[in-house]
Structure formats: C-alpha cells, structure tokens
C-alpha cells in the first residue's frame, strides 16, 4: 500500500511539474534590424509588418535597432503613424557604436515609446527627402534639402522663413510634424525643432541630457536589462515591460523585401538603367537575337521600379536619354566629335543629378558615373558605326553584286533590241540605250530578272 501511495504521489508531482512547464508563457521580445539602410517604401513595409506580427503574438515589446542616414518623408510618415498607434511598446535602439539616426531616423526615434542609444552614436539633421520630383504646386510636395533661414520678429521670437514661399510652407509643416510627436512622447520639443530648422546633431550623452532619449545601453543584453520594469503608456493604460529573461525573436526581411530593398540602392538602379540601354542598343544594331532586347527591357523596367523608391529627378533622366540620342547621331553624321562630347557631358550631368538627395547614400557614386558614361559613349559609337558601315558596304553576293561590275560585249552589238555581254565570267542577255559594238567595255547599271542594262565605259 505504501509503495502504491508513493507512486501516486510521484505521479501527481510529475503531472503538476508538466502543467507548470506548459503553462509558463515566457515574455517575447521582437527585434527588427534596420542597419545601414535608408527609409524607403520597402523598409517601411518591413517595419510595419513587424509591428503587426508583434501585436498578433502579443509580444512584450518590439525593439527596432536603427542605423540610417535618413530617407523619404512619405515612408517616414507611414512608419510614425504605425508606431504611434501600436498596441505593443516600441523601443528604438540606435546601434551599434558608430551608428546614427539622421533625417527620417529622428522622427522614428521620437515616435517610439522608449528611445535608446549605444555609446559613440549620434542623432539629428532631420531633413526628410520626398519620393521623386513633384510639381511644387501639387499637394504633398515635401522635400527639405537646405537648412532654413531664421529671422526674428518684432517681439524677438524666432520665425522660420524661406526665400521660396513653398519651401517655407513645407518647413512649417515638417516642424509641426516633429513638434506633435515630441509633445505626445514628452520629449525635448525645442531640440526637435532645432534638428529640423538648423540641421542640429548631437551625441548619445547630449541626447540623454536634453531628454531626447531615455537610455544609453552598451549592447543588446544591457538594453534588455535596463528596459525590465520600465512602464510606458499604451492607449491610456500603463504597461510594464518584462524583458530581463524574455524570449528573443528576431524578424529579418523576407526574400522579396531584401530583393526590393537592394533595388532601392541608387547605384544598382543606375547600373540597371545603363545595362538596359546596352541590351536594347545591341538588339537594334544586331536584330534577330532577341535575348539582349528582352534582358534590356527587363533591366529598364527594374530601373524604373527603383526610381519609384528613390528621390528621382526626371529632368536628369531626360538628360541621359538626350546623351543616348547624341551618341547615335555622332555615329550617323560627321559631327567631328562635338556630338560625342555633348553626349558625354549630358550623360555625366544626368547621372549626377539622377537622384536628388542631400544624403550621399542616396546618390550615384561619382566613380561609377565616370566609368559607365565613358564606356557607354565608346560602346554606343562602336556599335552604331558598325551598323552604318555594314549598310554602306558593297554587296558581295547575289544579283546585287553585279551592279557596277564591268565586262565586254559578247555579241556583234548590244542595243535597245538586245544582245549579249560577258560579265563576271558569265554570258548575260543585255540591252543598252545606245548601240555598243563587240568587245567594247561596258558597265552594268541595272539588273531585271536575267537581263542586264548596260552602258559604254
């Protein structure tokens, strides 16, 4: 009996242990990595999807590891709106050491529930870049590319002004945007405005002192330890974070996000544009292959897609196509090199201005522009001249080769009534507008069916 009782007790204890094990639900912390990327529609989709997934799985919080030079204002608006309405606490961690949250990164950091920075990082220069070029009169045109001018009104208060009224309107709208975020998250409003109007940038120590961030964490573990027990407000309710022993769940970009984010690189977009031109040019100059034309078309479509993800200057696109026209014109007419020079200048200018952004990471590399521009000029001239010369070259086979050939009269005479001539080792029927006697030299001027029209030499 005692042995049976002991077994029952052990069984109950084992079942209780299993129940405790399965009922325990460790807190989950989601981590998204925006390391050395620009803020564009692809990264916005990645971040928004991550927030949705964290909310769906009821995560304790979501940490965004941020290192960005900035990006597009439209994408920034979408990310900020999603963070402000999130039901899961969002922590923006500017890391690793040497990272920065520039331009659009300032807005994202300010929108977070808790902002943290690693040692030797910086934040500031909040000048978002609008997606592509738009008419300044159209609604939604927002691009700040230069620090604004400040003046003081009669009462001594600073007043934001611009030489261009539209830029002033844009600036005021952006300042209002960052002020609204700062006030909601109870962060330093004055510095937020200064980061937009004066392109101010500060270190992590200054950011902590000024109330821009809440934490300085040396690494991810240190961040989780410091976050544990912190309280944030979600929809009017206080939520306490439990991150010390939380289960870490990292969410990387999926394949299509990585692919399209690669296309958002201006150098990749530029290379696709030039390669697309190469493919179509080869197809035009060497008809019948098909593959170069198809590949070129695909490259051009991919480059156009990339341009939708970047602040594209379409006047620069026009300059590049003008360069192509000038290269082709040089190959067909005697331009004495002036057309080539004009095409080269147009290609370089168009390439340098293709992506209108103050952020170096969102512009085409100068060395890439120089190399591809010179190569494009050389290849274009070589291919098109080869085609022109092939059309101008004398035909060496078929009936057409006989035109212009010389021979002698084989019959007694050749006249309008007919006769025979000896040309190219063969005897041909022939006629001539004048009477030509035997053995006189003739030249073939036309060929119809098996009869030649000749004239005396």
Q: Which fold has domain 26-257?
A: 2-enoyl-CoA Hydratase; Chain A, domain 1 (3.90.226)
Burial-class residue 425 by CB neighbours within 10 Å (0-12, 13-18, 19+). exposed
pLDDT for the residue 157: 39
Q: Cα dihedral sign for 193, 188, 199, 92? A: negative
CATH 3.90.226.10 in the chain, residue ranges = 26-257
* Nearby residues of 203 by Cβ (< 8 Å), 6 or more positions away: 120, 121, 122
Averaged pLDDT, 44-63: 95
* pLDDT tens-digit series, residues 363-376: 788 888 888 877 87
Residue predicted with more confidence, 74 or 171:
74
- Given pLDDT bands bounded at 50, 70 and 90, which one contains residue 58? very high
Averaged pLDDT, 291-314: 85
Residue predicted with more confidence, 328 or 221:
221
- Given pLDDT bands bounded at 50, 70 and 90, which one contains residue 151? very low
For residues 207 and 191, give the distance between their C-alpha atoms in angstroms, rounded to a whole number. Answer: 9
The answer to whether 93 touches 63, Cβ cutoff 8 Å, is yes
pLDDT for the residue 7: 54
pLDDT for the residue 285: 62
Radius of gyration, CA atoms only, the chain: 37
Share of the chain above pLDDT 90, in %: 39
- Which pair of tokens denotes residue 82? 């999603």
For residues 235 and 386, give the distance between their C-alpha atoms in angstroms, rounded to a whole number. Answer: 70
* 97-106, 140-149, 419-428: least confident range: 140-149
pLDDT at 309 over 80: no
Q: How many CA atoms lie within 13 A of 439 on its CB side?
A: 0
Tell me the three-class secondary structure of the chain, residue by residue.
CHHHHHHHHHHHHHHHHHHHHHHCCCCEEEEEEEECCCECHHHHHHHHHHHHHHHHCCCCEEEEEEEECCEEHHHHHHHHHHHHCCCCCEEEEECCCCCEEECHHHHHHHHCCEEEECCCCEEECCCCECCCCCCCCCCCCCCCCCCCEEEECCCCCEEEECCCHHHHHHHHHHHHHHHHHHHHHCCCHHHHHHHHHCCCEEEHHHHHHCCCCCEECCCHHHHHHHHCCCEEEECCEEEECCCCCCEEEEECCCHHHHHHHHHCCHHHHHHHHHHHHHHHHHHHHCCCCCHHHHHHHHHHHHHHHHHHCCCECHHHHHHHHHHHHHHHHHHHCCCCCHHHHHHHHHHHHHHHCCECCCCHHHCCCHHHHHHHHHHHHHHHHHHHHHHHHHHHCCCCCCHHHHCCCEEEECCCEEECCECEEEECCEEEEEEECCCEECCCEEEEEEEECCEEEEEEC
pLDDT at 138 over 70: no
* 257-271, 305-319, 320-334, 390-404: least confident range: 390-404
Prior bond of 96 cis (ω within 30°) = yes
* Nearby residues of 110 by Cβ (< 8 Å), 6 or more positions away: 178, 181, 182, 185, 187, 192, 212
* 119-133, 267-281, 425-439: least confident range: 119-133
pLDDT for the residue 105: 94
Averaged pLDDT, 35-47: 91
The residue annotated as part of the active site, out of 75, 86, 95, 103, is 103
- Given pLDDT bands bounded at 50, 70 and 90, which one contains residue 383? low
The answer to whether 166 touches 179, Cβ cutoff 8 Å, is no
pLDDT for the residue 388: 61
* 20-29, 155-164, 437-446: least confident range: 155-164
Residue predicted with more confidence, 15 or 121:
121
* pLDDT tens-digit series, residues 387-434: 566 655 555 555 666 788 889 999 989 998 899 999 877 888 999 989
- Given pLDDT bands bounded at 50, 70 and 90, which one contains residue 286? low
Average predicted confidence (pLDDT) for the chain: 81
Residue predicted with more confidence, 132 or 313:
313
The answer to whether 418 touches 409, Cβ cutoff 8 Å, is no
CATH no., domain 399-456: 2.40.50.140
- Which pair of tokens denotes residue 34? 């925006």
CATH 2.40.50.140 in the chain, residue ranges = 399-456
pLDDT at 125 over 50: yes
Catalytic-residue membership of 103:
yes
Averaged pLDDT, 247-273: 89
pLDDT for the residue 136: 33
The residue annotated as part of the active site, out of 149, 169, 179, 210, is 149
pLDDT for the residue 23: 37
pLDDT at 247 over 70: yes
* 83-92, 139-148, 287-296: least confident range: 139-148
Catalytic-residue membership of 139:
no
């Amino acid at each position: 009996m005692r042995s049976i009782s002991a077994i029952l007790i052990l069984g109950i204890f084992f079942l209780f242990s299993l129940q405790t094990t399965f009922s325990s639900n460790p807190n989950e912390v989601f981590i998204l990595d925006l390391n050395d990327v620009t803020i564009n529609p692809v990264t916005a989709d990645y971040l928004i999807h991550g927030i949705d997934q964290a909310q769906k799985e009821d995560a304790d919080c979501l940490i965004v590891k941020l290192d960005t030079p900035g990006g597009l204002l439209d994408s920034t608006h979408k990310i900020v709106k999603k963070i402000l309405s999130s039901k899961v606490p969002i922590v923006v961690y500017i890391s690793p050491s040497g990272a920065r949250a520039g331009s659009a990164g300032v807005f994202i950091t300010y929108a977070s529930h808790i902002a943290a920075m690693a040692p030797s990082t910086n934040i500031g220069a909040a000048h978002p870049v609008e997606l592509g070029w738009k008419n300044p009169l159209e609604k939604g045109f927002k691009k700040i590319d230069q620090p604004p001018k400040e003046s003081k009104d009669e009462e001594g208060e600073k007043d934001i002004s611009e030489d261009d009224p539209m830029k002033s309107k844009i600036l005021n709208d952006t300042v209002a945007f960052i002020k609204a975020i700062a006030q909601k998250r109870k962060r330093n409003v004055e510095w937020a405005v200064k980061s937009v109007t004066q392109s101010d940038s500060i270190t992590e120590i200054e950011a902590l002192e000024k109330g821009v961030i809440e934490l300085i964490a040396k690494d991810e573990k240190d961040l989780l330890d410091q976050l544990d027990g912190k309280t944030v407000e979600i929809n009017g309710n206080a939520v306490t974070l439990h991150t010390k022993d939380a289960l870490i769940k990292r969410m990387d970009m999926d394949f299509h996000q990585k692919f399209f984010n690669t296309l958002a690189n201006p150098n990749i977009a530029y290379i696709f544009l030039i390669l697309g031109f190469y493919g179509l040019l080869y197809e035009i100059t060497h008809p019948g292959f098909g593959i170069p034309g198809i590949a070129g078309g695909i490259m051009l479509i991919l480059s156009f897609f990339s341009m939708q993800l970047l602040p594209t200057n379409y006047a620069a696109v026009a300059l590049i196509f003008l360069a192509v026209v000038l290269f082709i014109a040089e190959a067909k007419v005697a331009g004495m090199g002036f057309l080539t020079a004009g095409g080269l200048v147009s290609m370089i200018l168009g390439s340098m201005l293709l992506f209108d952004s103050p952020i170096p990471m969102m512009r085409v590399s100068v060395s890439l522009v120089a190399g591809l521009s010179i190569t494009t000029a050389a290849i274009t001239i070589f291919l098109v001249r080869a085609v022109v010369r092939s059309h101008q070259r004398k035909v060496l086979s078929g009936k057409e080769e006989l035109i212009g050939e010389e021979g002698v009269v084989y019959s007694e005479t050749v006249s309008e009534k007919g006769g025979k001539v000896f040309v190219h080792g063969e005897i041909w029927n022939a006629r001539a507008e004048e009477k030509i006697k035997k053995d006189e030299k003739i030249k073939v001027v036309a060929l119809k069916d098996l009869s030649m029209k000749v004239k005396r030499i």
